[in-house]
């Protein structure tokens, strides 16, 4: 079997980097897509000499999303899995918060996934095992104080996942989402220094679930919103 072609959006972030590196270790050929102008040191090398690195891509713009996926097609000739990891988070109460944050989080979470998915559909339909994996949030199932804008955006990702899974069922393309609780990242540790980090989800563990859903073995799973909330 030829190597899987996998595109990772938000590939320069903590989770994206872990997912991309793990996919490369499984033999995938990678397209790394991110809004940032500079990838993390060593990421491209860890993903293989033929990894496609696309910087400065604004996936909230459908034209930019189309161009990014066109570059993937030009490099690899096909696409087997799209991992929509690009997203954003803000904590704010409704009373004290900035109304513009609602638009920001909708754009960075829902529009990025929708635009990348739309652009990738022709390639994924042509794959014998086309896969889309989105990143939702456990906090969007039941939101707490300060999580309104973020939870609303991630709830949009959940509904996108379900709707697109039904839309693509006849085409053999599966669409699923992982719903992590707090991910153990340096930024989260800085923001919550007194938390019990052992109760958080390790990026590597979340990556394992994402990559299973992106694999041919997950052919019978679609439209699923899978909680990934750690071991404690």
pLDDT of the residue at 122: 98
Assign residue 27 a region (left: φ > 0; alpha: ψ between -120 and 50; beta: otherwise): left
pLDDT of the residue at 47: 96
Per-residue pLDDT tens digits for 60-116: 999 999 999 999 999 999 999 999 999 999 999 999 999 999 999 999 999 999 999
Torsion sign over Cα 202, 196, 148, 228: positive
pLDDT of the residue at 214: 98
Task: Label residue 95 exposed, middle or buried (CB < 10 Å: 0-12, 13-18, 19+).
Answer: exposed
pLDDT of the residue at 1: 59
Task: Return the active site residues.
Answer: 150
Q: What is the CATH number of the domain that holds 95?
A: 3.40.50.720
pLDDT of the residue at 34: 98
Indicate the angle between helix axes 14-25 and 203-213, nearest 10 degrees.
60
Q: Are 136 and 179 in contact (CB under 8 A)?
A: yes
| Rounded Cα gap, residues 7 and 124, in angstroms | 11
Using DSSP, state whether 132 is helix, strand or coil: strand
Q: Are 153 and 110 in contact (CB under 8 A)?
A: yes
| Rounded Cα gap, residues 167 and 213, in angstroms | 18
pLDDT above 80: residue 11 = yes
Per-residue pLDDT tens digits for 162-220: 999 999 999 999 999 999 988 777 888 888 888 888 887 898 899 999 999 999 999 99
Please give the tally of structural domains in the chain: 1
Q: Are 156 and 107 in contact (CB under 8 A)?
A: no
Nearest C-alpha neighbor of 199 from the set 187, 181, 186: 181
Torsion sign over Cα 112, 182, 194, 202: negative
Q: Are 178 and 228 in contact (CB under 8 A)?
A: yes
pLDDT of the residue at 231: 67
Residue 153 sits in which domain range? 5-228
């Amino acid at each position: 079997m030829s190597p899987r072609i996998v595109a990772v959006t938000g590939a320069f972030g903590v989770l994206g980097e872990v997912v991309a590196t793990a996919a490369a270790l499984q033999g995938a050929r990678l397209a790394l897509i991110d809004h940032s102008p500079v990838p993390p040191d060593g990421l491209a090398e860890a993903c293989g000499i033929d990894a496609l690195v696309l910087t400065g891509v604004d996936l909230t713009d459908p034209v930019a999303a189309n161009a990014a996926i066109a570059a993937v097609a030009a490099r690899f000739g096909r696409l087997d899995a799209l991992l929509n990891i690009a997203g954003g988070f803000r904590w704010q109460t409704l009373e004290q918060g900035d109304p513009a944050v609602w638009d920001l989080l909708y754009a960075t979470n829902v529009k990025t996934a929708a635009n990348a998915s739309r652009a990738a559909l022709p390639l994924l339909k042509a794959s014998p095992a086309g896969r889309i994996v989105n990143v939702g949030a456990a906090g969007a199932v039941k939101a707490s104080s300060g999580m309104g804008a973020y939870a609303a955006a991630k709830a949009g990702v959940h509904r996108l996942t379900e709707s697109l899974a039904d839309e693509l069922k006849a085409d053999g393309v599966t669409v699923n989402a992982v719903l992590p609780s707090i991910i153990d990242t340096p930024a989260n540790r800085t923001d919550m220094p007194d938390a019990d980090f052992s109760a958080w989800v390790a990026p590597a563990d979340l990556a394992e679930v994402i990559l299973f859903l992106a694999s041919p073995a997950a052919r019978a799973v679609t439209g699923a919103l899978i909680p990934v909330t750690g071991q404690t």
